[in-house]
Amino acid sequence: MDKNARIYVAGHRGMVGSALVRELLAHGYGNLVTRTHAELDLTNQSAVERFFDEAKVDVVLLAAARVGGIFANASQPASFIYENLAIETNVIHAAYQAGVQRLVFFGSSCIYPKACPQPIREEYLLTSALEPTNDAYAIAKIAGLKLCESYNRQYGTKYVAVMPTNLYGPNDNYDLKSSHVLPALIRKAHEAKLNGDETLTVWGTGTPRREFLHVDDLAAATRFILERDVTEGLYNVGVGVDLSIRELAECIAGIVGYRGQLVFDTSKPDGTPQKLLDVSRLTEMGWCAQIGLEDGIRQTYQDFVAGYGAQAVRVPAHA
């Protein structure tokens, strides 16, 4: 990778995009191109094509997306599938038209079937039915990685898709209607502690198992892929270890200092029973995650407390 390459980070204000910017700047990549949603609506095809004509970028990191947890995905499926499909098709096609040879597309582990063998290997994609609570989002992300595959095959581009497991870290979304489980539990535990609540309610049975990756590790994996000149394919990015939602809630409560009782609302959906990624493809190439879960949650909680209030619970439009 040329340190002077013009790298467009799409979604630079979101959790993933901001981590990519931090990682690249820290390692000498200073020629970064960014646009806010107000400056460039990625669902607007003509605006995206005009941007690529003018910006003359060398690499695209497509981290822009509409994201959310179980409630948001289940209650707004049309918004999730439309906006993500629009962003992906506009950016990938305009990048190709502008002669951009390298692109990294960020998907999600929810692309894999609900009843997958564990741990989940990349080749399990499209082998059975998806989890119905977020199938619209998953289908959009599957379309994005298939776009990358198809443009590579037809046009000789070097577009790579990475599928991170559940992410957390600085600049996360803590809105309880749209956030993922880990940031939601951080906010719930913090407010329960402040209010002196005797109980803290957790959605579901607490039995589903999930894997969590600090977003800075994802950014490091992305830089690794770029610098190793990986030019095609699908790559899982995770830690290779999971825990139950109950264990996660207990861990967060301990870090936050909440001493009350956890109550599990079994009327709420659990989602996929287990979602553990097989990360051997990247591990065999020489990359592995460096940030332990407890240390990562502790850092993330400090970030949350520092911005607690309106900034901490903002909902990014296209993070």
pLDDT at 14: 94
62 DSSP β-pair partners:
10, 105
pLDDT at 308: 82
How is residue 61 written in tokens?
A: 């990191």
Tell me if 188 is assigned to a ligand binding site: yes
Tell me if 190 is assigned to a ligand binding site: no
pLDDT at 309: 65
264 DSSP β-pair partners:
202
Please list the rounded mean pLDDT of every run of 10 residues in the chain (319 residues). Answer: 96 96 98 97 98 98 88 86 98 98 95 94 96 92 98 98 96 86 95 96 96 98 96 96 98 97 94 91 97 97 84 43
Report all structural domains of the chain as residue ranges with CATH numbers, in order of start.
Answer: 7-306 (3.40.50.720)
Assess whether 137 carries a catalytic annotation: yes
Cα angle 196-198-201, degrees, rounded to a multiple of 5: 110
Please state, in angstroms and rounded to a whole number, the distance separating the CA atoms of residues 31 and 4.
6
The pTM assigned to this predicted structure is 0.93
Place of tokens 């037809």: 154
Tell me if 307 is assigned to a ligand binding site: no
Q: Which of 137, 168, 174, 235 is catalytic?
A: 137
